Structure 1
Amino acid sequence: MAVLTFGLTPPPAQAAATITLSSTSGEAGSPVTVTGAGFPKRTKGTVVAGTAKVAVTTTSTGTFQVSIGMPTAPGTVTVTATAGSAVASAPFTVVDPVPVPSGTRSIRFGVGTNGGAAAGGELDEVAALAGEAPSIVLSYKDFNQAAPLAELDAVRARGAETLLTWEPWTWGGGTEQPAYSLDRIAAGDFDAYLREWGTALGQWGQPVYLRFAHEMNGNWYPWAEGVNGNGAGDYIAAYRHVHDVVASTGATNISWVWNPNVPYWGSTPLDQLYPGGDYVDVVALDGYNWGTSQSWSAWQEPEVLFGEGITQLRQLAPGRPIMIAETASSEVGGSKPQWITSLFRYVSAQQDVVALVWFHINKEADWRINSTSASADAFRAGLAARR
């Protein structure tokens, strides 16, 4: 018996997976937004571009959007997205950076050492290793210390400026320090101390970068939300309050630096922590390539480490200069000399990055410039060739 099928409509075919790139060419390290469509719904996958790789999860309509940094070697690279059985690719051309005239360096070189701003011998050693004296010196003070005017003078005498990290806690006290909860800071419990700092820095009168309560999107400091009794919105309130009290003293020589850690899975979203353009002069990121030095860590190329964070900073604070305020690499898990070379190429391609501060300390890993002679050689060469 024949079966009539008139009027029946076959189910729609699955659309072929496709990806589009926000740009199809650019300098090494350029962050590119990849938009995918036609992939299986709610499916985990990856986007790969050379050595860079990021994870994605498609939406209920089979789409996704992610940022990925382009490789550092000039030429054509294939960007490939995979989710389930669906695969789509698109080409991207990595072009050589525009040459920078000799003697012109728009990315400032900074350093942090064990002894900080007062350790002239350590800073001399860095200058010899790098072939250039740092123009920014990283310094740290907690909420029990006065404004370090003598150290600021010492740095200025070297022709440099201080990136002064101001930490609202007692060093060594751990993450649970109720005396320094964010709501206490916002309520004015430390106003007298804040005014002392503002008055001292203002009377000193020379330019200084003030980095208050950095890496706030993590969970390892008592000023992070989710620890020490802090809740959502407390960080912005505390940051704004500190800024306003210090500004009320008339200190106009301070450049305020808002400085999260590079975003990671589980970190507090940056848009929930940004105090707004009226409170920030410079935005910054801290990011380390831990390699395989820790049980939880893996080797990360510079464009992967910094790409997403820089993209978010540009969205939150358009037009603001960007610093890499702390960075370094482990020797374990890959080639540190190659990583250093890639880092300088990557930041040189980011026209809004104005400074790179290296963490020259043997601490959780051997972060030093000269952890090996090959790393020191790569650093010297990369620094000399930077934008």
Structure 2
Amino acid sequence: MRAIIAALLGLAAATQVHADSAIDRQQRELGVLRQGWYQQTPPAADYKATRPGSLRDSGQDGVGLLLHNVDMYFQDGIGFHSPELKGWLVPLKAGEPVDFDRPQDMRIEVSEGEVILSPEQLSNLFNQHILAYPESMLRDFSLSVDGDRLLVSGEVQPLGIGPWLPLRLSGTVKLDGDNLDYRPDSVKVLGVPSYGAMSLVGLRLDSLVSLERPGAKLEDNVMHLNYHKVFPLVGIDGQVESSWLDAKGLHLKFARKPGAQALAFAPPLQAGPSYIWLQSGDLKIFEILITYSQVLLKAEQPDQPLAFNLKDYRKVLASGITQVNEDGTFFMRVPPAGPAGGVRLVSSGNGSSR
């Protein structure tokens, strides 16, 4: 009996040693993984942390941003398509994470890339934002492109008095510093009492209507759109070096500052043809703080661009599938947009923070 008890005690001790060694091995492996989780890899070598890093604060202000074949929306249908764009999401208050629940407290610093506003997106920008105030004398804009000309049809209430009348504009868009200037050289108001149709060539448009909104101003016969300020929620920094119109819409090409190096991003191999990659810095999503960010938002369907709406990001991401890889990367597959910019509901996975 004593021999049996001694054997059992020995087996128990050996089992405990084995368990301890397994725990030690797991802790060693976890330690190696943690070194990767809390390693800062900003896409610019000269983008330094402004304070000592910790588990809850990487010490870096801003998150590296890479868009690749993405439909980016700020709210509702207001946004653009980007074949590729590189830059930063930067909090307005130093020391704070980039919080997707407070987009008004961040700005986008574009280093380089291109965005395209389709005629529909341009129409949405006017109808849902620029002209969306009670005293507006312009409404119901529909924009289209004919060669290098931008055509506008809508309604005008001259001087804010009387009935709404059909309006037709035709002109070019020229880049002038921080402004995109729409210069209509054909202005027609239809259905003017006693006159039928009236061509207002030579008559200043601002003598009929007034328009002065954040990022948009009508002056003489020119509508100035400041691309830094005209979009809702988020300001955009960066320099547009050229713009042009074609069948796709209005193209804006951002260029790097003279002497600046290209940002170097390292998205995962499974990123696919359409994705948003967020690299380094601190990000807050769904009240989860992600430090030393490695976050991939990927289109679920490879044949459709990722559609991401910043204001309604919770609805967009909650309808997808989320996982956290061993290297600390948050990996989110986003379903395609449904009717009216909505999302198609699918089962969702679990997410966690480091």
More strand by proportion, 1 or 2? 2
The higher relative CO (CA closer than 8 Å, separation ≥ 6) is in 2
TM (norm. structure 1) is 0.24
Q: Which has the larger radius of gyration?
A: 2
More helix by proportion, 1 or 2? 1
TM (norm. structure 2) is 0.25
